[in-house]
Amino acid sequence: MSQMTLQTLIEDSRQAAIYHLPPAALAPVKEAAKAAGFACFELALDDHGEIPAVLTQLGRGLGFPAWYGNNLDALKDCLSDLSWCKAAGYLLIISGTRTLQAANSAALGTLNEVFAAVIDEWRAQGVPMWVFYDLRVDGLATFPTPA
């Protein structure tokens, strides 16, 4: 996949979703996002095994306001209103989820439900939001690797 094709893909809000991002695709995806005027957040979850610690880490990494409640509803609210970070689209690149996946795969599934709901809300506004994981999470497709 050429860089231009990759940029066209990530600009398409109808295609936005949650994917496993192979290491070879990280740099090209970030480059395409920058070219498209996207806000790109790289979030290291530090291999936390409990969802409260993960939510705290996400809030810090995304620069959420002080009122962020470190719960799933607050995560959805904050991700649904990124007015403090206006951009043509959004990419969340998440690493360090191996421990959460092993310790509490149901919590990771719930987290992905929140991400999917937010992606749908942005899609309805024609704005792409992508979530990428550095490891394979059950039920997620692998993002196409650029050639």
Tens-place pLDDT, residues 32-87:
999 999 999 999 988 788 999 999 999 999 999 989 999 999 999 999 999 889 99
Q: 3-state DSSP helix/strand/coil percent for the chain, to nearest 5?
A: 50, 15, 35
Amino acid at 6: L
Report residue 75 as tokens.
């995560």
Output b/e per residue, 7-35; b: 16+ Cβ within 10 A: bebbbebeebbbbebeeebbebbbebbee
What's the pLDDT at 37? Answer: 97
Nearest by Cα to 97 from 59, 130, 135? 135
Domains of the chain: 3-133 (3.30.370.10)
Tens-place pLDDT, residues 92-127:
999 988 888 888 889 999 999 999 999 999 999 999
What burial class does residue 141 get, using C-beta atoms within 10 Å of its C-beta: 0-12 exposed, 13-18 middle, 19+ buried?
exposed
What's the pLDDT at 145? Answer: 61
What's the pLDDT at 23? Answer: 87
What's the pLDDT at 17? Answer: 94
Output b/e per residue, 84-98; b: 16+ Cβ within 10 A: eeebebbbbbbbbbe
Which strands form 18-20's sheet, in the order they lie side by side?
A: 18-20, 129-133, 90-95, 39-44
Confidence of residue 1 (pLDDT cuts 50, 70, 90): low
Instruction: Please state whether the predicted TM-score (pTM) of the whole model is above 0.75.
Output: yes
Tell me the three-class secondary structure of 56-94, residue by residue: HHHHHHHCCCCCCCCCHHHHHHHHHCCHHHCCCCEEEEE
